[in-house]
Amino acid sequence: IAAGFIVLGLTAWIWLMFDEHVARAIQRLAAAMRARAHTDVDGELDPDRARYLGDLAMAAQAVTGTLSETKNALAEAVERETTRLSLENARLQALLADVPAGVLLCTAEHQIVFYNGPAQALLSGESAPGLDRSLLLSLRPGPLQAAHARLLRSEDPDAATDLICAAMGSGEVFAGRMRLGRLG
């Protein structure tokens, strides 16, 4: 009976040591990695908390360090590109500010990405143009889509097509020219 209690006590003691030094250490390491993945925690992982896990703590430190460097590099790249796009937008606005004709730049899905003052004045009405709004909300879609289809069928990269379309609200008729822009 005494031997049974000793074996039971040793088993419980080994289980508690395993729980404290392995299972909880893995949980703390995972929580620290999760915190570093979702926040800007810069401190290193404490290797003493995972001393019984072998090289796992050092591997986790390397992974979280690389993740932090990648997040920082991505944030810098986004900031650089945002600055570059802002400068290009400012240059484009300066160039088109004195153009008396309305100028609209749209995506292939007819989402407005840029417009100048005269274009805003021409299209102001029930649904004034706005960035990332569909041009099809301001102008009748038929002529725009037909002109876009003609340009897509054209094999000339510098092709342009004339179009006549009407505003949705007022019915005012506009004459325009459409070109496909190439990126890069």
Strands 160-166 and 173-179: antiparallel
Task: Identify the pLDDT of residue 107.
Answer: 87
Dihedral of the alpha carbons of 76, 78, 83, 89, in degrees to the nearest 10 = 170
The pTM assigned to this predicted structure is 0.51
Dihedral of the alpha carbons of 172, 176, 179, 183, in degrees to the nearest 10 = -60
Q: Is the torsion defined by CA of 157, 180, 162, 92 positive or negative?
A: negative
Q: Is the pLDDT of residue 127 over 70?
A: no
Q: Is the pLDDT of residue 97 over 80?
A: no
| Sequential DSSP letters for the chain | -HHHHHHHHHHHHHHHHHIIIIIHHHHHHHHHHHHHHHS---SPP-GGGGGGGTTHHHHHHHHHHHHHHHHHHHHHHHHHHHHHHHHHHHHHHHHHHT--S--EEE-TT-BEEEE-HHHHHHH-SSS---TTSBGGGTB-HHHHHHHHHHHHH---TT-EEEEEEEBTTT--EEEEEEE-----
pLDDT tens-digit series, residues 64-79: 888 888 988 999 999 9
Task: Identify the pLDDT of residue 133.
Answer: 85
Q: 50 or 143: which carries more pLDDT confidence?
A: 143
Task: Identify the pLDDT of residue 126.
Answer: 59
**Cα–Cα distance between 65 and 57 in angstroms, integer?**
12
Q: Is the pLDDT of residue 2 over 90?
A: yes
Q: Is the pLDDT of residue 184 over 60?
A: no
Percentage of the chain beyond pLDDT 90 is: 22
